[in-house]
Amino acid sequence: ANLKGANLNGASLRGIKLNNVNLDFANLSGAQLDFANLSGSDLDLADLSGINATNLRGCPLSLPKGWVCENNSLIQR
């Protein structure tokens, strides 16, 4: 799927399957992504400010600079 540039600000995406999705330039700020499957997704240019993303079922392929996926959680460093 291609959600490039999608506005998902504050969306409740708990447990959603977003594997292999292009989310470049997507606005995910404030989104709830706990338990989501992000395997293979491209989040390199997405806005992840204020997200909750713990207990993921899979880590994304790419993340914005300063973000990591550790222990199945997205963490800003």
**What would the mean pLDDT of 13-19 be, rounded to a whole number?**
95
As to burial, measured by CB atoms within 10 angstroms (0-12 exposed, 13-18 middle, 19+ buried), residue 23 is buried
Query: In this structure, are strands 67-70 and 73-76 parallel, antiparallel, or unpaired?
Result: antiparallel
Q: Give the per-residue pLDDT at 1.
A: 82
Q: Give the per-residue pLDDT at 53.
A: 97
29-74, pLDDT tens digit by residue? 999 999 999 999 999 999 999 999 999 999 999 999 999 999 999 9
**What would the mean pLDDT of 7-33 be, rounded to a whole number?**
96
